[in-house]
């Protein structure tokens, strides 16, 4: 991150750790994906305190850059102008970015919901995209969708949300995680619903309080969020049907997994069945 009068920056890493304190050993409170806008505050050593759209914490200053201004080029030569009001949105859990339009030399990986400006659409298999720090790369067409910046995450049906969730089966649990590399329970449901067109808060208790429609267990249906806890909300999962739910479980299984409330089901989870705090429907 260069010194600059502005406080507006973007995340320059594929996925950046956001910590509670300016210390690599401090708690990982969340993560931020490439090109997410942040407001930078105070600095401490190699760390900068930032405000994300849904959280705040400390990021390594080297993982911040000025906003991307490169856009669609006129041909392949010259300086690219200001970006058009469209972006390439990653729609796969993980997608490689290549150095060139052809070949397998990989530059980095991007993760589900990352949005970046595109530069060139002429290649049949790959799209040339702008990256932070005046860099660029090539990403497979099937890994992204071109969308208006005013509607990066259009509303999709609940089946799309649950399909995104099931694509994460087996992904390791990571406290504070927010990507295919590792994800926690609330980051998991937030990400899936972002891709489905609903922006909900980051933490499970915030999600519970944000959502207004409570659901009886007998009426649970796909897409409902199930909140767990005995003295306070400590976990959240997503219903797949009337009795199964998918969640990023960090106590016994340490991965994204499907469990059930049906005692006859081979994946019945008795402990969670006994501490259901409440069920909320995202779309009333």
Across the range 264-271, mean pLDDT stands at 97
Q: C-alpha dihedral over 32, 20, 171, 9, to 10 degrees?
A: 10
Question: Which pLDDT band holds residue 85 (cuts at 50, 70, 90)?
Answer: confident
**Among the options 208, 247, 259, 269, which is catalytic?**
247
For tokens 């808060």, the residue is 201
Residue 78 has pLDDT above 70, yes or no: no
Report yes or no on whether pTM surpasses 0.85.
Answer: yes
**Among the options 185, 192, 208, 259, which is catalytic?**
185
Residue 269 known to be catalytic:
no
Q: Which of the pair, 43 or 134, is modelled with greater confidence?
A: 43
199 Cβ neighbours under 8 A, 6+ residues apart = 153, 193
Give the integer Cα–Cα distance in Å for 163 and 283: 17
Is 8-65 a domain of CATH 3.20.20.70? no
Residue 247 known to be catalytic:
yes
**Among the options 208, 235, 259, 269, which is catalytic?**
235
CATH code, 158-281: 3.90.1720.10
Give the integer Cα–Cα distance in Å for 1 and 10: 10
Decide: 110 and 121 in contact? Cβ < 8 Å: no
Residue 243 known to be catalytic:
no
* pLDDT tens-place string over residues 88-100: 999 999 999 999 9
In this prediction, residue 69 carries a pLDDT of 82
Q: Where in the chain is the domain with CATH 3.90.1720.10?
A: 158-281
Check the CA dihedral 78-130-118-49 and report its sign.
negative
| Across 1-5, 13-17, 57-61, 91-95, least confident range | 1-5
Q: Which superfamily is assigned to 86-151 in CATH?
A: SH3 Domains (2.30.30.40)
Give the integer Cα–Cα distance in Å for 80 and 188: 36
Q: Where in the chain is the domain with CATH 2.30.30.40?
A: 8-65, 86-151
Across the range 109-129, mean pLDDT stands at 95
* 119, 138, 139, 157 from 103: Cα distances, Å: 19, 10, 11, 36
């Amino acid at each position: 991150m260069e010194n600059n009068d502005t406080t507006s920056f973007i995340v320059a890493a594929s996925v950046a750790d956001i910590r509670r304190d300016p210390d690599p050993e401090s708690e990982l409170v969340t993560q931020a994906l490439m090109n997410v806008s942040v407001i930078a505050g105070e600095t401490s050593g190699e760390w900068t305190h930032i405000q994300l759209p849904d959280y705040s914490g400390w990021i390594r200053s080297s993982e911040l850059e000025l906003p991307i201004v490169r856009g669609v080029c006129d041909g392949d030569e010259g300086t690219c102008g200001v970006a058009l009001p469209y972006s390439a949105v990653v729609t796969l859990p993980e997608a490689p970015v290549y150095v060139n339009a052809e070949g397998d030399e990989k530059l980095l990986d991007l993760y589900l919901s990352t949005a970046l400006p595109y530069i060139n659409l002429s290649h049949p298999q790959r799209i040339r995209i702008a990256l932070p720090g005046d860099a660029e790369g090539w990403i497979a067409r099937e890994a992204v969708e071109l969308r208006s910046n005013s509607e990066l995450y259009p509303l999709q049906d609940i089946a799309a949300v649950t399909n995104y969730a099931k694509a994460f089966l087996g992904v390791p649990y990571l406290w504070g995680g927010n990507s295919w590399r590792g994800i926690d329970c609330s980051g998991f449901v937030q990400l899936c619903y972002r891709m489905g067109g609903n922006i909900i808060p980051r933490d499970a208790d915030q999600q519970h309080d944000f959502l207004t429609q409570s659901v009886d267990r007998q009426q649970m249906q796909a897409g409902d969020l199930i909140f767990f806890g005995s003295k306070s909300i400590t976990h959240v999962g997503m219903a797949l049907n009337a009795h199964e739910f998918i969640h990023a479980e960090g106590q016994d299984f340490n991965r994204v997994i499907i469990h059930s409330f049906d005692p006859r089901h081979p994946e019945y989870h008795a402990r969670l069945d006994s501490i259901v705090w409440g069920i909320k429907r995202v779309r009333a």
